[in-house]
């Protein structure tokens, strides 16, 4: 064997290995929150102003405890928003390569669960409702089942399922590589 051929074979092996590790699908799913930080400040400012304006007549008439109850309402609303924003830190990340399917679920507390499988043995289970669409989606492999994409709406979940199903089918066919 000539030195040029062994070098070429090493490059081919490296290209095949790189193709096998290249993601075919990489998606991160986060819970949708329609109110951002600026919207939160605006809502809380308006609620505080409304509470102060509404409580002034009661304070003037001597019913000052009413102002305290307005304050408790504001505090309860603030806590509810903070809990909601905390829950938005959760996410799922799904990566499909020709050799591996990796699902990484991170809770809003930061606890991480990783589900790993071979794409050849991984299938998707769909829970469909004729009126509402795709209500649930799960990955199943060798008796293990884990729900995915629960933060998505049925329409978004349908698009996600099609893309993930295509990536799993492509992974089962094996890596694509361009020989030099």
CA distances from 163 to 38, 86, 139 (A): 34, 29, 14
pLDDT of 101 reads: 93
pLDDT of 174 reads: 75
- CB count, 10 Å around CB of 137? 22
CA distances from 5 to 71, 132, 172, 177 (A): 79, 59, 30, 19
**Is residue 96 within 8 Å of 172, Cβ to Cβ?**
no
pLDDT of 6 reads: 55
pLDDT of 176 reads: 66
Which parts of the chain have pLDDT scores under 70? 1-20, 175-180
pLDDT of 80 reads: 93
pLDDT of 129 reads: 87
Instruction: Work out the mean pLDDT of the chain and round it to a whole number.
Output: 86
* β-pair partners for 102: 95, 116
């Amino acid at each position: 064997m000539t030195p040029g051929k062994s070098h070429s074979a090493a490059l081919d092996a490296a290209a095949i290995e790189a193709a096998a590790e290249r993601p075919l699908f990489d998606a991160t799913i986060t819970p949708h929150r329609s109110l951002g930080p600026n919207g939160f400040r605006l809502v809380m400012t308006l609620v505080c102003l409304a509470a102060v304006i509404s409580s002034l007549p009661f304070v003037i008439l001597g019913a000052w405890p009413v102002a305290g109850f307005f304050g408790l309402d504001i505090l309860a609303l603030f806590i509810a928003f903070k809990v909601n924003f905390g829950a938005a830190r959760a996410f799922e990340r799904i990566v499909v390569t020709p050799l591996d399917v990796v699902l990484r679920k991170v809770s809003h507390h930061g606890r991480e669960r990783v589900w790993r499988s071979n794409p050849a043995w991984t299938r998707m289970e769909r829970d469909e409702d004729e009126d509402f669409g795709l209500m649930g989606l799960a990955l199943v492999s060798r008796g293990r089942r884990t729900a995915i994409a629960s933060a998505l709406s049925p329409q978004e979940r349908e698009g996600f399922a099609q893309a993930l199903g295509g990536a799993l089918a492509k992974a089962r066919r094996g890596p694509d590589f361009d020989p030099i």
